[in-house]
Chain A
Amino acid sequence: MTPLERGLLRQMQIRGAVAGMALLVAAAIGERLLRETLPLAPGSLILPAFLLLAYLALWAPSRRYRAWGYRMDEEELQVRRGVWVQVHTVVPLGHVQHIDVSQGPLERAVGICSLVLHTAGTLHSQIVVPGLARATAEHIRDEIRGRIREQPA
């Protein structure tokens, strides 16, 4: 399985940090308000929030990042993801309806983009491969596009 670009890790870390910071601010305000009425030790809310921030910004992203992987061969694209529940998805290339290469602002900042495969299936109609370099994503897209055209509709 091919790992994804390091940019994805960076993106996950930034997202985790933002979420963690928001929690930290909320915890700080909450602690301040609660200490007016309850005899709480200083830092009893902030400290857990700080640990959570460390988890969200450092530990969780790297585990999540390492779980991702993809492989493409002649017939199908395989995508692996998930830490807690590990999911391994196989998409036969002939069944791909259309393909998007998308890039959000944060993704642009860290230099990655996502490849989105749409199938006719309704349960998982989109299979997303995040964290690809633009050139790789476009290469895969062109490859799959060629395969779709080869097969009779």
Chain B
Amino acid sequence: MSEGAADRRLHPGTIALRFIKEAPSTLVALPAALAFTSKAGLTGALFLAAALAAALLFFKWLAWRRFRYGVGAAEIVIESGILNRNRRSIPFGRIQDVDIERTFLARLFGLAKVRIETGAGGKDEGLLDSVSIGEARRLRETVRARGAGTAPAPEVADEQTEEPGDVLFEMDLPRLLLFGLFSFSLVYIAGLFAFLQTFDRFLPFDVYDPARWVGLADEYLPHRWTPGAIGAVLLLATLIGFVAGIARTVSRDFGFRLSLEGDRFRRERGLFTRSEAVIARRRVQLAEIQSGPLRALFGWSALSFQTLGAGTDRGGHPSAAPFATRAEIERVLEEVPPLRPPPPPELAPVSQRHILRSSAARLAPAIAAIVALSAWQRPALWLLGLLPLLAVAAALERRFHRYALAGDLLLVSRGVWRRRLWLVPLASVQCWSLSRGPLQRRLGLATLSIDTAGASMLNAPRIVDLRAGDAAALAAELSRARSRHSGRKSGTER
């Protein structure tokens, strides 16, 4: 392999960019502390800030000077480190994706962060932070041309957006706002309180003093908690929830576009931070369609893929269409051949005894919690009357927990509030296991878990409480179908 020379440097603007990014924490916190704690006062603080700024700038410059990269005949070379020199070469053949991300600040400077992904799972394997946007695009074209063996793409002019490929999914502003409405969340109110808690020492009052809030209410509401006042507060909270949901959705998914370019999807999104991610089609392991009760009612759901290697968001579960109709999702799925929406015959529910098992498993902790609570507050014993609700919840859960094996595709759906449907091509299944706990053995049930590349603990298709016979039959069918379809290989790296 020929050695490439590391002959390029990052864009000089990087120094300024990083300086601005780190300045607030370094240049304000320490001098401020000095100004408050010692007698040095404002002049001393300013002097310290200036000295720190000079030192920071010098180190940023040094890091920039010592960081070099280059494109060789067969690899990308990155040299870094101020004292310990580190030379890393990434062969083109190993590069999976080149992601370009542009934060708001970077866009002001005309810069972009380039992340070279090799799928080895390391976070910053090949991070070029930052180069000019033109250079970022050139790098990507170079990698594409030499890496995946595709035809060299035409040269792209600087500072000009690339020609979009075949657009598969796009969200216009009305759609985005509607999506924002559905993303209503009160989490932000909690976030606001967390923020207040962090900075409460700077506030002139104690956030957690209930008397203060009641007093406040007393001041403003002469009749204390009238229904009208409560209604106003609830309305305000709801409004904040909606506004927060819309704001977050718009800033993240503004101008969302998923397009197809040869053997890869390209996804662009973001209002302030504009990110371009690439999803190689052959690296898609499975698809997940998500919805909720309300979204399902109006026919909206979200599509995300699970890919090999580190994706840009949510660690290998890139979102492909966050708020789409069924037809739109089908359109995207068509491009990833084994994947397809579930066939019209409904998926089969898991065993009825799931209700029994699931409620039994929750009964003990629930009773323990209530009994413990009643030691403090006797009336808590009345909560025991709510226990039948566990069975209702379990019955509801069973209604939405279904599965089917359709040819070379395994379908699993689960969740009442967060409805998820996994589409798992059998070729992506790495291994599977049947497990049976004591209660399950007594009830003749079994759980089938399926492991795929890139699966996480919380996000794995698992069929809980099948009838033991069905589970064994399904496992056997998996074995048979797998060997039948083993001609087609998934994008699994060897």
Using a CB–CB cutoff of 8 Å, the interface residues on chain A facing chain B are 75-76, 82, 84-92, 94-95, 97, 119-125, 127, 148, 151-153
Whether B494 and A123, one on each chain, are in contact in the complex, defined by CB atoms closer than 8 angstroms, is: no
Contacts of A151 in B (CB 8 A): 486, 489
CA–CA, A119 to B451, complex, Å? 9
Q: 20 A-B contacts, Cβ less than 8 Å apart?
A: A84-B438, A85-B436, A85-B437, A85-B438, A86-B435, A88-B434, A89-B433, A90-B431, A92-B430, A95-B430, A119-B431, A120-B492, A122-B451, A122-B453, A123-B451, A123-B455, A151-B486, A152-B489, A153-B489, A153-B494
Chain B residues contacting A75 (CB-CB under 8 Å) are: 479, 482-483
Contact A120 B430 (CB under 8 A): yes
B432 within 8 A of partner (CB): yes
Contact at A89–B430, with CB atoms within 8 Å? no
Query: Could you tell me the distance in whole angstroms from the C-beta of B459 to the nearest C-beta in chain A?
Result: 10
Partner of B494, one of A86, A90, A97, A122: A97
Q: How far is the CB of A61 from chain B (nearest CB, A)?
A: 19
Contacts of B362 in A (CB 8 A): none
CB proximity of B3 to chain A, nearest CB, Å: 27
In angstroms, Cα B460 to Cα A123, docked, is 8
Q: Is B57's CB within 8 Å of the partner chain A?
A: no
In the assembled complex, the CB of A76 is this many whole angstroms from the nearest CB of chain B, namely 6
**How far is B479's CA from A119's CA once the two chains are assembled, in angstroms?**
16
Minimum CB–CB distance for A121 against chain B, Å: 3
Q: Are A122 and B455 in contact (CB under 8 A)?
A: yes
User: Which residue of the partner chain A has the closest CB to B480?
Assistant: A75
- Per DSSP, chain B at the interface is mixed
Query: Which of B430, B438, B482 has the largest number of chain A CB atoms within 10 A?
Result: B430
How far apart are A126's CB and chain B's nearest CB, in angstroms? 10
Specify which chain B residues have a CB less than 8 angstroms from the CB of A92 in the assembled complex: 429-431, 479, 482-483, 486
User: Which residues of A lie under 8 Å from residue B486 when comparing CB positions?
Assistant: 92, 94, 151
CB pair B435–A122 under 8 Å, yes or no, is no
Q: Which of A87, A89, A91, A123 is most buried by chain B, counting CB atoms within 10 A of its CB?
A: A123
* Contact of B435 (CB < 8 Å), options: A82, A95, A125, A148: A82
Given contacts A123-B449, A123-B451, A123-B455, contact A89 B431 (CB under 8 A): yes
Q: Is B454 an interface residue (CB 8 A)?
A: yes
CA distance A30 to B423 in the complex (A): 56
Q: Is the CB of A122 within 8 A of B433?
A: no
CA distance A87 to B479 in the complex (A): 17
Residue of A nearest to B433 (CB): A89
Please measure, in the bound complex, the distance between the C-alpha atom of A121 and the C-alpha atom of B478, giving whole angstroms. Answer: 16
| Interface flags, B464-485, vs A, CB<8A=1, else 0 | 0000000000010011001100
Question: Can you list the 7 inter-chain pairs with the closest CB atoms, starting with the nearest?
Answer: A121-B430, A121-B451, A89-B433, A120-B453, A153-B494, A119-B430, A87-B435
Residue of A nearest to B316 (CB): A122
A106 → chain B closest CB, angstroms: 27
List, in ascending order, chain A residues with CB within 8 A of B455's CB.
Answer: 121-123
Taken together as a complex, chains A and B put the C-alpha atoms of A87 and B451 apart, in Å, by 14
Question: For residue B451, which residue of chain A has the nearest CB?
Answer: A121
Name the residue of chain A whose CB is nearest to the CB of B486: A94
Render B403-435 as a binary contact track against A, CB cut-off 8 A, 1 for contact.
000000000000000000000000001111111
CA distance A122 to B432 in the complex (A): 12
Task: Please give the distance in Å from B420's CB to the nearest CB on chain A.
Answer: 16
Q: A86-B441, A120-B492, A122-B455 are in contact. List 12 more A-B contacts (CB 8 A).
A: A75-B479, A84-B437, A85-B437, A87-B433, A89-B433, A90-B478, A92-B431, A95-B492, A119-B451, A121-B430, A123-B449, A153-B489
**A residues in contact with B438, CB < 8 Å:** 84-85
A84 to B438: give the CA distance in the assembly, Å: 6
Nearest Cβ on chain A to B2's Cβ, whole angstroms: 25
**Interchain CA distance A153-B478 in the complex, whole Å:** 21
Smallest CB–CB gap between B154 and chain A, Å?
Answer: 31
A120's partner among B432, B441, B493 (CB-CB below 8 A) is B493
Q: Is B86 an interface residue (CB 8 A)?
A: no
107-139 of chain B: CB within 8 A of chain A: none
Q: Is B368 an interface residue (CB 8 A)?
A: no
Closest Cβ neighbor of B494 among chain A residues: A153
Q: Does B452 contact A (CB under 8 A)?
A: yes
How many Å lie between the Cα of A90 and that of B429 in the bound state?
11
Residues in A with CB closer than 8 Å to B432 are: 89-90
Which B residues touch A152, using CB under 8 A? Answer: 489
Q: Does B77 contact A (CB under 8 A)?
A: no
The answer for the CA separation of A151 and B430 in the assembled complex, in Å, is 15
**In the complex, what distance in Å separates the CA atom of A131 from the CA atom of B454?**
30
Which residue on chain B has the smallest CB distance to residue A97?
A: B494
Q: How far is the CA of A125 from the CA of B437 in the complex (A)?
A: 22
Chain B residues, Cβ within 8 Å of A97 = 494
| Shortest Cβ distance from A148 into B: residue | B494
Q: How far is the CA of A91 from the CA of B243 in the complex (A)?
A: 49
CB distance from B121 to the nearest CB of A (A): 9
Collect the chain A residues with CB atoms within 8 Å of residue B494's CB.
97, 148, 153
Name the contact of A121 in the complex, choosing from B434, B437, B441, B453 (C-beta under 8 A). B453
Cβ–Cβ contact B479 & A76, under 8 A = yes
B314 CB to nearest chain A CB (Å): 14
Q: Chain A nearest CB: distance from B229 CB in Å?
A: 51
> Using Cβ atoms and an 8 Å threshold, which residues of chain A touch B453?
120-122
Kindly list chain A residues whose C-beta atoms are within 8 Å of the C-beta of B483: 75, 92
Whether, in the assembled complex, B308 has its beta carbon less than 8 Å from a beta carbon of chain A, the answer is yes
CA distance A97 to B431 in the complex (A): 12
Which partner residue on chain B sits nearest A84 by CB separation? Answer: B438
Q: How far is the CA of A76 from the CA of B438 in the complex (A)?
A: 27
Contacts of B434 in A (CB 8 A): 87-88
Chain B contacts of A76 at CB under 8 A? 479
* Contact A90/B475 with A120-B453, A122-B453, A122-B456 known, Cβ cut-off 8 Å: yes
- Within 8 Å CB of B478, what residues of A? 90
A92-B482, A94-B486 known; A123 and B435 CB under 8 Å?
no
